[in-house]
Amino acid sequence: MFKLEEEHDYIYGVESLTMYINTKTKYHAGHNKVRRLMKENGIEASIRKKKHDRHAEHKDQILANLLYDKDTGHHFNSGQSNQVWVTDCTELRYGSKSQYKLRLSAIKDLHDHSIIAWQIADTETSALVTDTLQLALKVTNGQKPKILHSDQGAAYTSGEYNTLLAGTGIKHSMSRAGTPGDNSPMEAFWSHMKDEFFAFKKTLSKDELFQQINEFMRWYNYERLQLTLNGMTPNEYRSHTVQKCA
């Protein structure tokens, strides 16, 4: 056991080591025996790290929910475009067996429901959400919301992200821990996207998935009629609002 762990840099846990012994050596052992021997000999897989509360690591950047009041509930309505944005990330899969995955980050305007900007990456990082915000500010020609709401994910509590928000003067609002309903406009968008567009698609490559996301975002913003927008598309409602305010 010592030799196997040393050869593989101590990456094997109980289950992996048991499977390796039974398939790659002439010996046979059960999980309980391997667990006992590892414990008796002080063998511990290097991947077995002590779990940390990611919220505790960023507790100085966990902020109040500016879209919720304990007496009146959620406030997801905005009087005009580019006043309140919400953002989130979701996972999408591709490959012949859906074995690969990436993260899609998007920003939504609460007034006209349009998707202002989106970006993809292999993992959810501060760089991904920061790039999404920078793109949103670019496509709106520098028009910035008063509030940007997110959950308490590590990417959103990161110093990089909050430094960018502070520099632009945007107030950062956060969902309460374990309360997905606090960001229900984004949750609803992801649900529509997956149910209406991706449910029956088989995506083989990352490039193909990128094209499909782009196709959906264009369709959603410019063609999908919404009852809550008086039967208009997000883009039509956005243009209508701008004309009224002009």
Interval 161-192: pLDDT, tens: 999 999 999 999 999 888 888 999 999 999 99
Strand, coil or helix: 226: strand
Q: Same domain for 7 and 82?
A: no
Q: In 108-233, which residue ranges form alpha helices assigned H by DSSP? A: 126-139, 154-157, 159-168, 184-193, 206-222
* pLDDT at res. 242: 61
Q: Same domain for 123 and 163?
A: yes
Q: Same domain for 70 and 121?
A: yes
Q: Same domain for 7 and 90?
A: no
Band (199; pLDDT cuts 50, 70, 90)? confident
Number of compact structural domains in the chain: 2
Q: Same domain for 63 and 6?
A: no
**In which domain, by residue range, is 15 found?**
2-40
Q: Same domain for 62 and 170?
A: yes
Strand, coil or helix: 87: strand
Q: Same domain for 148 and 83?
A: yes
